[in-house]
Amino acid sequence: MDEQGLIRRVQDGDEEAFAQIMGLYKDRIVNYLYQFSGDYQKAVDLAQETFLRVYFKAGRYRPIAPLSSWIYAIASNLAKTECRRSRRMATVSLEDIPNSFSSGAYSDDPADPGLVRNLHEALDELHPRYRVPVVLKDMEGFSQEEIARIIKRPVGTVKARISRGREQLRRKLEKAREGGSFAAENEVREHGRA
């Protein structure tokens, strides 16, 4: 059965149709939220919340956009809210946290854990307005038009945010490659030292 038929059945209270939708999207949504948050357990929790909202708000879905766009929009909104909430709660001083990161630069080897760590740290530092479109485009493979529907912004805005987000990532990764460390950079920013 097609996705539109499944969501109509969910709107009628069919839990089996909901289970089928979850089966189609669960792994993709968890992966997307993990790319956004960098925390697997948080991604799983946010995915569960996403699907709760899909089930209970199914009556609000209108078939003007693909079902995937609607589900990703819900996940994106939850991720952005979580990001804002966690930033407000982050009150621990960096001096209180032991530095367990090495300051080594990344290599060109894609299997290099330093590259992966630096990429995750660079993504974490991106403002959600840039992180969401970049992750949706470069990691989830959505078109710019689909992203525009998901985040409810014009295609031109999406293009600009992807471009700016990629540029910010490139600069952060170049700094890491030159021997800069994200942890050290954040400490300088937090404590005002040069």
* pLDDT at residue 124, rounded to an integer: 82
Is residue 115 helix, strand or coil? Answer: helix
* pLDDT at residue 87, rounded to an integer: 64
* pLDDT at residue 151, rounded to an integer: 87
* pLDDT at residue 107, rounded to an integer: 41
In the chain, which residues have pLDDT < 70? 1, 86-115, 180-194
- What CATH number matches the domain at 104-194, 1.10.10.10, 3.30.450.20, 3.40.50.1220, 3.40.50.300? 1.10.10.10
* pLDDT at residue 97, rounded to an integer: 37
pLDDT tens per residue across span 96-116: 434 333 334 434 445 556 667
- Spatial separation of the C-alpha atoms in residues 97 and 54, rounded to whole Å: 38
* pLDDT at residue 193, rounded to an integer: 39
**Sequence letter at residue 131:** R
CATH 1.10.1740.10 residue spans of the chain: 1-91
Check if the beta carbon of residue 136 is closer than 8 Å to that of residue 147: yes
Q: Which CATH class is domain 1-91?
A: mainly alpha
* pLDDT at residue 113, rounded to an integer: 63
CATH 1.10.10.10 residue spans of the chain: 104-194
* pLDDT at residue 33, rounded to an integer: 92
* pLDDT at residue 123, rounded to an integer: 84
First to last CA, the chain: 60
